[in-house]
Every structure is written in C-alpha cells, then in structure tokens.
Structure 1
C-alpha cells in the first residue's frame, strides 16, 4: 500500500512526500528517510520495495527546494529550517503510526541533517538511526577563499545559487545510476550559500559532539566515495559512545550504497541491524 502526503511548514511552504507500506496492516517498523542534496524521495522506491518484502515500511519527503516540494532549488532560509521540517515530518508520521517503531534514515546531506537531529534533539519517538555516506565533510573540500566568497555573496543575496559539480560516475559503479540521475527532471544541482555553509558547519559540529549520541546507530560508507568523506565517518565511529554505533565500510563502493552493484547486500545489512534493535514481539 502506497500513499502520497503533504503538509505546510511553519513558513508556509508545501512539502510533499510518499509512503510505501507492506501488505500487513501494522508494519514491523517504519524507516523515516531524509534524502540527499539535489535528489528526491522517488529515487528510493526500490529501497522501499526491498524493505516492504520484510514487513518494514518506508516514508520520506522531498526537502524544501527539492523534488516536488516548494522552494527555490537549493535555497533555504537557514540550516535550522531543515531541522524544523524534520520535527514536522516525524510528528506527522508518529500521528499516523503511533504504535510502529520508527527509524531515522539519512543519506549524504540527509545523513548530516539526520545525525544533527539525533544528537541535538535526541527524539524519544525514534528507536534507532541509519546513516549512509554522510556529508560531514566533502572528499574534496573547496578552497577556503571560494567558501568565504560564497558566504559573503549569500549574505548579500540569500537566493543566489551556483551549480555544484556533480559527476554522475561518482554515484555508483553501476554507471546506469548516474545516467538516470542526470536524466531525472526532478533532480537539480543548485546549491545556495546558506545551505552549503549550514551543512558544512553542522558537519564540523557533529564531529565534535559524538558523545551526545543516545540512539543505536548504523553508519555505512563506501571506501571509494569521491563525494563525501569516508574518513570523516571513520572519525565519528572512533569517537562515538561504545556499544551504540555499528560502522561498516564497503570496499570499492562509491557514494550511493543503496544503488551500488552490492545494493542487495547493503540493504540486507540495514535489515539485519533493524532486526538486532527491534524489541521482541509480544
């Protein structure tokens, strides 16, 4: 069973999402997905289908300025607005599924936002987290001068964006993934300065505040990721509280593990983690 949904944010944007549910009336769990930069929730339909086969649902929304949601592409008023939208999304999800275990799942930029949310808010309605290829730092950081100029311009012109250098081959060693990505009309490559600065600063904050982790967390990263830094994920893993974090690095794999040649193994790894943290059924 699938359904679309939408809501109006505090600042009157309409954000649109989709939910994929297994056939049972009450799924064993529900993954609450926060997608990455430039993409949209529709790119995760095959992920939802995998988990639906195992009685787990997936729900997510197109972040502001992305996909079918409102907002200028790549522009946000603040990083904080992204966290507010997560609160709204989770409140809406919990109201629909109050008895279903919820898991916060973030990929890439969404991994940054989801990690920040887990560390800062420590939400009680979330049972565990799954973070893949998080943007704590980029694999190839832009020059400091470029960042400073971008910050200055964004302060003067908040809606100003630049085109990010997305290389389709960096997404997956299955090259059809990058081709479909570039042909997808809902995908964009526009990055506003406020968004870039906010996510970058949040990534540094995350790496200094790993001790605030209270949820069981699975983190996965491809060792050949040329987009987001796998070394930064390793740093998080080394500093995280003992017993809460499970870290998996995938040899030779690129940025989108759920779209890689080993995607079935990666998704199964997530499923195994979910089974580990699920409470015994009464």
Structure 2
C-alpha cells in the first residue's frame, strides 16, 4: 500500500486565485485520478481520512476551494461569491483540464466526485453540451448526497425562493447567512465540534450564488439538464437515508430516470449528509475506492441496477 504525499498550491482562473490541495500516492503507482468538488460552506480540508485513504490505494485526489469558500476567500466580500453557474462550471472544467485530465489514452483514468452542492455542479457539468469533450474523457462520476432538492425538513417556502431570485437580479452579491447546523451533517459528536469551530465555514452565500444552486437542482430534477448515456460512462450515487439537508427521495427519483449501462445507487442506512464524516464512514471510503479501482482493472462497461431500494 502506498504512502501519501500532500501538495498545496493555487490555481488561477478568470481573475480568481483559488487554493488547491492534492493527495498523491507515494511509493506506489497512480492507478486513477479523482477531481473533488466540495459543497456549500465547505472546503477541501473537511474530508477527514477520505482522500488519504484513496491515495494509499493508488488514487490521486485533486481538489480546490471554490470561489467564495475556504482558503480561496481573500476578503470578507469574497464569501459565498461563486458567480453564476457558467462561472462555476468553467472553474471546474479549467481545473480538470489543467491539472488532471490525461494527455494520452494510456494515462491513469480520471474520475470526478461532487458532494452536496458540488454534486449538483458536477452533474450539471456532465449534462452540459459545451463540455462534452471533457465529459467524454471522464471514466466515472461519484455523487455524495448531491443537491437535487432540499430535504423536506429544510425546504424553503416557494415565495422565499421566488423572492430571492428576483432580488438576485438587482443585488447579486448581497450576502445571506444560511447556517447548516452541525447536527444536521453528521452523528459524530467530535465531527460536529470540529465543524462548529472551523472559521472557514462561514455559511454565507450571495443571492446570485444561492439562486444558481437552486436553479441547477431544479433543472436536474426536471430533466432540463440530462446525462447523455453515450457520453457519461459510469455513475455511483451514494446517499444517507437519514439526510436532513438534501432529499434522498429526489436523488432516487433522478436515479430511476437514468439509462446508464454502468450505474450504482447505494443508500447508507442511518447516515446523515456527510457520509465522509459520519459514524461508519470507513464503509463509504471503501466503497468509493473499490468502485474506482474496479473500473481501472477492467475497463468494460457493466450492466447495473440500484444497489438499494428505498
């Protein structure tokens, strides 16, 4: 089993200087590369042993703090300032193209993982024709509790959503603090304390960014943005059954509409929103690593059905 080399740096794109971090196999071959896209009020250092565990198995992980989040925030005015969806997708695509995607077919295969808001972002990228060339070069997509709808317990009233969309046109960079309680994210008391103490988790969005996040979720759920099974090769969707942040029902409904030759859906019984930080997280780590490495060892498209019925 390989060791882990950690590399920190920055990535410049369209006037932004974004913080990057990579977890690379050391002392063994790189079998696969994984681009990681984090969620709302999150950053790449919040994933515990998830990325080191993958690197020890030969999966190099490359992540960056998105605009408005983590160590990519340089001033209070930057908080939550993600820009519209076009900017969000362009940032992800530029990072993948410059840092990860192979120049030749024989290079290690590339996978993309998105958590929560990041799950909705990578799905939108995968379903956007403009990025078809990039999407075709990705071996598989991993979705951890993707944001396709709010969980019923936290669903805002439609009037609030409509009003926010209108206000976003007038004052797109107006800040709104939208705390996500740590007790909604994980059952682990130590992880909850760590989340509450993390000054980088500012829970601040802009009207533009929040509206764009909701618009992406609605477009995916309604099928206005859809995957092309001729281009998207493999998808693994993982969701906790006790998630009170994103709606597992919406995730399952989206999943059942897909016509993927190689797909897996797994419901993690009793898990909360952050599978990577919850009790039993090692099962999720192992599942993701196994799923990636199976597609490196045998690069054939498998037939698949949802692992779990809800």
For the aligned pair, the TM-score class normalised by the smaller chain equals over 0.9
1:228 aligns with 2:246: yes
- Tell me the SS of whatever aligns to 1:68: helix
- Superposition CA RMSD, Å: 1.8
1:92 aligns with 2:98: yes
Name the CA distance, whole Å, in 2 between partners of 1:7 and 1:242. Answer: 33
Q: CA deviation at 1:162?
A: 1.0
1:151 aligns with 2:151: no
After alignment, is 102-111 or 144-153 more displaced? 144-153
Assess if the C-alpha contact under 8 Å between 2:165 and 2:211 holds in 1: yes
Assess if the C-alpha contact under 8 Å between 2:233 and 2:261 holds in 1: no
Spell out, residue by residue over 1:150-199, the C-alpha distance to the aligned partner (whole angstroms, 9 max, x if none).
22222221211111131110111112212111111211100112111111
Assess if the C-alpha contact under 8 Å between 2:165 and 2:207 holds in 1: yes
Equivalences for 1:106-145 in 2 at 5 Å? 106-120=114-128, 121-122=131-132, 123-139=135-151, 140-145=154-159
Q: CA deviation at 1:36?
A: 0.5
Assess if the C-alpha contact under 8 Å between 1:106 and 1:132 holds in 2: yes
Equivalences for 1:59-208 in 2 at 5 Å? 59-70=62-73, 72-94=78-100, 99-120=107-128, 121-122=131-132, 123-139=135-151, 140-207=154-221, 208=223
From 20, 25, 28, the equivalent of 1:22 is: 25
1:8 aligns with 2:12: yes
- Tell me the SS of whatever aligns to 2:49: helix
1:58 aligns with 2:76: no
- Tell me the SS of whatever aligns to 2:172: coil
Assess if the C-alpha contact under 8 Å between 1:132 and 1:219 holds in 2: yes
When residues 96 and 242 of structure 1 are mapped into structure 2, their CA distance, relative to the original with a 3 A threshold, is: closer
When residues 96 and 42 of structure 1 are mapped into structure 2, their CA distance, relative to the original with a 3 A threshold, is: farther
- Tell me the SS of whatever aligns to 1:145: helix
Q: What is the number of equivalent residue pairs in this alignment?
A: 280
From 262, 265, 279, the equivalent of 2:280 is: 262
After alignment, is 168-177 or 148-157 more displaced? 148-157
Q: CA deviation at 1:96?
A: 7.8
Structure 1: tracts of 5 or more residues without a match: none
Assess if the C-alpha contact under 8 Å between 1:39 and 1:66 holds in 2: yes
Assess if the C-alpha contact under 8 Å between 1:138 and 1:228 holds in 2: yes
1:276 aligns with 2:294: yes
- Tell me the SS of whatever aligns to 1:75: coil
Assess if the C-alpha contact under 8 Å between 1:118 and 1:215 holds in 2: no
After alignment, is 63-72 or 132-141 more displaced? 63-72
Structure 2: tracts of 5 or more residues without a match: 300-310
Q: CA deviation at 1:125?
A: 2.5
- Tell me the SS of whatever aligns to 1:212: coil
Name the CA distance, whole Å, in 1 between partners of 2:100 and 2:42. Answer: 25
Q: CA deviation at 1:245?
A: 1.9
TM-score by length of 1: 0.93
When residues 95 and 278 of structure 1 are mapped into structure 2, their CA distance, relative to the original with a 3 A threshold, is: closer
Q: CA deviation at 1:280?
A: 4.4
Name the CA distance, whole Å, in 1 between partners of 2:68 and 2:192. Answer: 21
